[in-house]
Structure 1
């Protein structure tokens, strides 16, 4: 359909697109340069004054599991150029970019892949009907398709997997069985979740400056609240920002000129939109790199001024804040009392129930995996098998299928009514952020367990002593997990409440307050104008008016045992210093240190073991007859290979798939999978720890040994990741708070792109009040 692009995107229209994109980017980068100085000052001030919170109890991985394959297997992909379905070997590396190869042999021969998909900004659909509905809404209403007309997409099976993006191209996959659909749905969702979170969390200046600039720019266009397309890295987010303005204009001009049946017009618009998105992406990338380099060159001079005049800048800012507070506070307090305060408890309750359930599920999955490993180490050779089991356990947090039962708890989050009142575009922002927290806490628990067990193995325990040591270490790690998960959840709740309420307050106050802000500019010394902005200070004052109510609401929730949160007074300050010293050692390679078999066998299979170690879940063996037959690596560490995951056999060739197409099957819309995915489970059910005690002032809990597993109450701890627009709180007032703000390693290296596809992270906006407290909202 090259003629479609040449017809509707001629030279004059391409020139208009380039000019419009340049104008939007110019306006945005003015906000970015302003916010860069503020973010730099806030970062340096916190570095000097910040004391942080209590130390986290769990360790975190300083060396991430790079060069690992998260998942692999076979999928059928629909190729739009020849309108045929082809079998593809699909692989998900550690950066969560979906890689498609012609087949497995092409992967093994290191032939370049057919496509690399960065899934940021995409939605995963399992229903053709739902997809056709979204596509039908992409163009203005035209002639209704005739009954019996061929749809834009015909899937030969009942189990499609469609990647839909509002601006970029779409990808169509299908599988032959429902278990396969559930498995790949979990994998794709994990890819989207991590690619969406594309701005590194350890970026203390560039990240906050960018997200603040996005928020300020959208507010200048009267767009408050969360933004669902805040997805991916900076270039992808900016491309989405441009398309949000440019897309409707092009649609109104191009759609009346498009010819053909409704289905054909839909295909044409998808192609046109994707072509425009690629043009915008390339132009945005060049502009952003230039502005980023400009700010980086100016940074040393700004740092010198900040170090020299830190006290004067702080004094000037506090004076400005006091003047703005005197003007704003009476109006803001009335607005908070009438429109926000009555809804805080209900918002918090809606957030806490699914989040608590998710955290509890993380705890239960970790307990079960370790207990299964312990039982199998006893029954299957002791320490000789330990390396194999620990290699699998170390990757538990990155296993999309095993973690799915934790992630899906957040699907229960409902904000109906609140979304309309507070202008929350989608609850997915909070869901995905909580899910990312879950993965981080699982990995922290696993890594802490690894470190303690490795230390214990240095003592040369017997088989019986090893069993007791594993159980004792498990209890120790669970206590630390309960404390850290409580800390993370309370921080997440405060962030979410601010993300919901602050934009609402700013929008309410804008008509009476925003026009008066320019008169406060004269209170800022010219030398400090790069580090103090009236707009930022105004927002900090508004934030302070509601912060007290939010802090109190979270503190009250911690007192209720049903939420499984520690009280603020129960703080374990650096309770285990020796453990943190262990984390300074070299990363553990379980496969090398504790591999079973004779030295000769190890030498012969070294390359095979190296490749297998890289795969968390599945790379199908050559001997496997069916492309969807489960691989032994998908089994739980405690499951013998002769007990595969119960996936039903399915056709394995494109020829059979064509046969299904030839029958002109009626497409059925599958039910979205809500049940937990089929995970390999141990042949034994093992006891799990009870709900931790919260009454001891030391923050310790009862031993989980010899107890039956506790059922996750409707309000038990859990967490899922916020993926889209919302802006998390970076630092909050720490009065009597037990939260920890230690830096976390970034795991979202989503460098792969497919022809300029969009992606989106969650927003991080940094503000600072007159006391020097930095916050994000």
Structure 2
């Protein structure tokens, strides 16, 4: 058996070199990001006022999903029934069984799914595995690396880290779990918090600058996860070809065994790189934070002089670069902007229209059921479900699927867009946020209205009136969000293309502009960043005009920029600052002084967003299919002794810093991230 120790010293040296170069870039970008943040704080007026309310803690004390699924255990080559729970931070947590979860035993597996792909066939998986290790392919008729006992596998594949194998019994189950897994990947990919106004843009800009220094422009699929994961992916991208050429010739055994060994080696190296990346990145951040007070003091004291100095530099670079950039835009970008925009607009607008339709249908159905089945008690039951509609992977799937239609065709090759997944996932995150904003606004308005109602008829009319009110706000906010997404996506596609085109004639001449920067301001003004801003300005007018024309045509229900929302609610946002609404607690009719034993009992329950009665198979907290169930024959050795009697082994995987959850709803959030600006996620460009 080969181990990652083979050539370990060379791997460490290569990792250290990449991380060292990145940390240098990060320090440079930190000063620029700090200056931009302080300047925006002083000068910024913000964008349009959102009409919908934004929920601060959308999933507190809830889990997304829970149920049983079969997992392939590589150590003993057997399939085992596992209890899987997806908490509010979207980490996949697998326990030996539900009893182990209730007894607060450690989980067997904890997965941060950032960077993974969800595959639903063994053939898809084998194709990726064969491509990852060229020249090592099992002969026809020979055993492959994986055999699935059912026709419904679910495989989590990663280009560097270990793979995870699951299966279920029916196609309906497979679709449900696939939606859940995809939601986990989508959320974990979005792992850099937008709350960080300095560190996040400094990090993504440093990643972009580092890759551009290696002649790598365009989008990057592995810019996903938290900062350490992204850095690990950056190192592995350079390390893997060298590792493959060293390791592959020394692999022994049949093709499946060599493939399995290669995956294990790659995963072990990835873990080593992760630890080194975390250590060096944390140290770089600490150094920058130590210098931050002094830097910020200088910025606030000399803001006007810094701005004047930067404008002087920009004017000189503009005079040199802009004529070349404008020719490039006119010949190579402008003719394609409308085509790119149309390709983006159609699936995105269809997705947001589906969000509106799903929200409308859920509220309308609730209204009908409340009238037919009872009053306030039924309303509370339905509102508990509705309040987490945006985080229901299955109900939101029809919205997300609209983005699967996104295809840039020949444009993708022309502008070196490695794949459209960056834009798909970003739009899907916007959809989820808009749905939650709509739901939160609806429940806030309804909660305010309940005290004034006299009977069922009043309740029905109020729900309908509030629904119409919220839909108007949704249409306005949806238009604003989509236009911003289109502008940033167009910039993300065209700016790297322009930078590559201009590099041969412009990049080598940039060094001469360095002397225009005062030494005292060198931490806040970089020639490379100013050059990019000039290139951005060269194409911005065309992009703004294209989006404006699209809005005027109303083809995709976009409002014109000049349109102002009438009948706006200036006091609604004050209403949204109150405490979160707990429908079950407030309207349950139970006495406030609940016995401690009852509170402990309820705390152990899995409060799942997806309810038991929503599928043919019971997936909730109380009804789980066990290995001995007549509905699912056991796929592994029958009989499971008490975990406490035989002892619980340590978790197989504590992946990428996710902490081990306790039984019941987590008391505090894990590594959770709300949707953030595209420019802070994928190294794009923000317009302020």
Task: Settle same-fold status: TM greater than 0.5.
Answer: yes
Deviation track 1:221-267 (CA, whole Å, cap 9, x = no partner) reads 00000001001000000000000001110101111111222111111
User: Does structure 2 conserve the Cα–Cα contact (< 8 Å) formed by 1:198 and 1:748?
Assistant: no
User: Does structure 1 conserve the Cα–Cα contact (< 8 Å) formed by 2:221 and 2:422?
Assistant: yes
Deviation track 1:366-414 (CA, whole Å, cap 9, x = no partner) reads 0111111111111111112221111111111111011001001000001
User: Does structure 2 conserve the Cα–Cα contact (< 8 Å) formed by 1:765 and 1:775?
Assistant: no
User: Does structure 2 conserve the Cα–Cα contact (< 8 Å) formed by 1:69 and 1:614?
Assistant: yes
Equivalent residue of 1:654, what SS?
Answer: coil
Q: Distance in 2 between matches of 1:130 and 1:243?
A: 23
Identify the residue that residue 670 of structure 1 maps to in structure 2: none
Q: Please state if 1:37 is matched with 2:31.
A: yes
1:300-449 maps to which residues of 2 (within 5 A)?
300-449=293-442
1:194-209 maps to which residues of 2 (within 5 A)?
194-209=187-202
Deviation track 1:199-222 (CA, whole Å, cap 9, x = no partner) reads 001211000000000000000000
Residues 128 and 99 of structure 1, relative CA distance in 2, 3 Å threshold: same
Residues 762 and 46 of structure 1, relative CA distance in 2, 3 Å threshold: closer
1:143-542 maps to which residues of 2 (within 5 A)?
144-542=137-535
Equivalent residue of 1:577, what SS?
Answer: coil
Q: Distance in 1 between matches of 2:399 and 2:303?
A: 45
User: Does structure 1 conserve the Cα–Cα contact (< 8 Å) formed by 2:30 and 2:288?
Assistant: yes
User: Does structure 2 conserve the Cα–Cα contact (< 8 Å) formed by 1:70 and 1:92?
Assistant: yes
What is the RMSD computed on CA atoms of the aligned residues? 2.6
1:595-674 maps to which residues of 2 (within 5 A)?
595=588, 614-618=607-611, 629-631=617-619, 651-655=631-635
Q: Distance in 1 between matches of 2:414 and 2:504?
A: 18
Identify the residue that residue 137 of structure 1 maps to in structure 2: 131
User: Does structure 2 conserve the Cα–Cα contact (< 8 Å) formed by 1:200 and 1:748?
Assistant: no
Residues 509 and 749 of structure 1, relative CA distance in 2, 3 Å threshold: farther
Structure 1 unmatched runs, 5+? 622-626, 635-640, 642-648, 659-746, 753-759, 768-773
User: Does structure 2 conserve the Cα–Cα contact (< 8 Å) formed by 1:239 and 1:277?
Assistant: yes
Identify the residue that residue 78 of structure 2 maps to in structure 1: 84
Q: Distance in 2 between matches of 1:326 and 1:132?
A: 54
Deviation track 1:472-527 (CA, whole Å, cap 9, x = no partner) reads 00000000000000000000000100000000000000000000000000000000
User: Does structure 2 conserve the Cα–Cα contact (< 8 Å) formed by 1:385 and 1:596?
Assistant: no
Q: Distance in 2 between matches of 1:43 and 1:176?
A: 52
User: Does structure 1 conserve the Cα–Cα contact (< 8 Å) formed by 2:86 and 2:93?
Assistant: yes
* Deviation of the 1:751 alpha carbon: 6.6
Equivalent residue of 2:271, what SS?
Answer: helix
Equivalent residue of 1:298, what SS?
Answer: helix
User: Does structure 2 conserve the Cα–Cα contact (< 8 Å) formed by 1:233 and 1:761?
Assistant: no
User: Does structure 1 conserve the Cα–Cα contact (< 8 Å) formed by 2:53 and 2:437?
Assistant: yes
Q: Distance in 2 between matches of 1:453 and 1:603?
A: 32
Choose the corresponding residue for 1:53, options 47, 52, 56: 47
User: Does structure 2 conserve the Cα–Cα contact (< 8 Å) formed by 1:159 and 1:174?
Assistant: yes
* Deviation of the 1:437 alpha carbon: 0.1
Q: Distance in 1 between matches of 2:48 and 2:178?
A: 38
User: Does structure 2 conserve the Cα–Cα contact (< 8 Å) formed by 1:28 and 1:213?
Assistant: yes
* Deviation of the 1:775 alpha carbon: 3.5
Q: Distance in 1 between matches of 2:621 and 2:343?
A: 38
Equivalent residue of 2:555, what SS?
Answer: helix
Q: Distance in 2 between matches of 1:611 and 1:592?
A: 17
* Deviation of the 1:162 alpha carbon: 0.2
Identify the residue that residue 763 of structure 1 maps to in structure 2: 681
Choose the corresponding residue for 1:566, options 559, 567, 582: 559
> How many residues are paired up?
650
> TM-score when scaled to structure 2?
0.90
Choose the corresponding residue for 2:62, options 61, 68, 76: 68
Q: Please state if 1:27 is matched with 2:31.
A: no
Q: Please state if 1:121 is matched with 2:115.
A: yes
Q: Distance in 1 between matches of 2:278 and 2:272?
A: 10
* Deviation of the 1:455 alpha carbon: 0.4
Q: Distance in 1 between matches of 2:297 and 2:2?
A: 55
* Deviation of the 1:145 alpha carbon: 2.7
User: Does structure 2 conserve the Cα–Cα contact (< 8 Å) formed by 1:195 and 1:748?
Assistant: no
* Deviation of the 1:461 alpha carbon: 3.2
Q: Distance in 2 between matches of 1:102 and 1:499?
A: 44
* Structure number having the greater helix percentage: 2
* Deviation of the 1:346 alpha carbon: 0.4
Q: Please state if 1:9 is matched with 2:5.
A: yes
Residues 474 and 650 of structure 1, relative CA distance in 2, 3 Å threshold: farther
User: Does structure 2 conserve the Cα–Cα contact (< 8 Å) formed by 1:54 and 1:572?
Assistant: no
Q: Distance in 1 between matches of 2:557 and 2:596?
A: 50
Q: Distance in 1 between matches of 2:227 and 2:353?
A: 34
Identify the residue that residue 645 of structure 2 maps to in structure 1: none
Q: Distance in 2 between matches of 1:380 and 1:464?
A: 13
Q: Distance in 1 between matches of 2:44 and 2:254?
A: 63
Identify the residue that residue 106 of structure 2 maps to in structure 1: 112
Q: Distance in 1 between matches of 2:313 and 2:631?
A: 70
User: Does structure 2 conserve the Cα–Cα contact (< 8 Å) formed by 1:160 and 1:175?
Assistant: yes
Q: Distance in 2 between matches of 1:431 and 1:611?
A: 37
Q: Distance in 1 between matches of 2:180 and 2:206?
A: 32
Equivalent residue of 1:404, what SS?
Answer: helix
* Deviation of the 1:599 alpha carbon: 9.2
Identify the residue that residue 775 of structure 1 maps to in structure 2: 687
Structure 2 unmatched runs, 5+? 624-628, 639-667
Equivalent residue of 1:124, what SS?
Answer: strand
* Deviation of the 1:467 alpha carbon: 0.8
Equivalent residue of 2:449, what SS?
Answer: helix
Deviation track 1:7-53 (CA, whole Å, cap 9, x = no partner) reads x624xx21211111111100111000000000000000011001112
Equivalent residue of 1:775, what SS?
Answer: coil
User: Does structure 2 conserve the Cα–Cα contact (< 8 Å) formed by 1:54 and 1:574?
Assistant: no
User: Does structure 2 conserve the Cα–Cα contact (< 8 Å) formed by 1:195 and 1:750?
Assistant: no
Residues 146 and 765 of structure 1, relative CA distance in 2, 3 Å threshold: closer
Residues 472 and 299 of structure 1, relative CA distance in 2, 3 Å threshold: same
Q: Distance in 2 between matches of 1:87 and 1:259?
A: 32
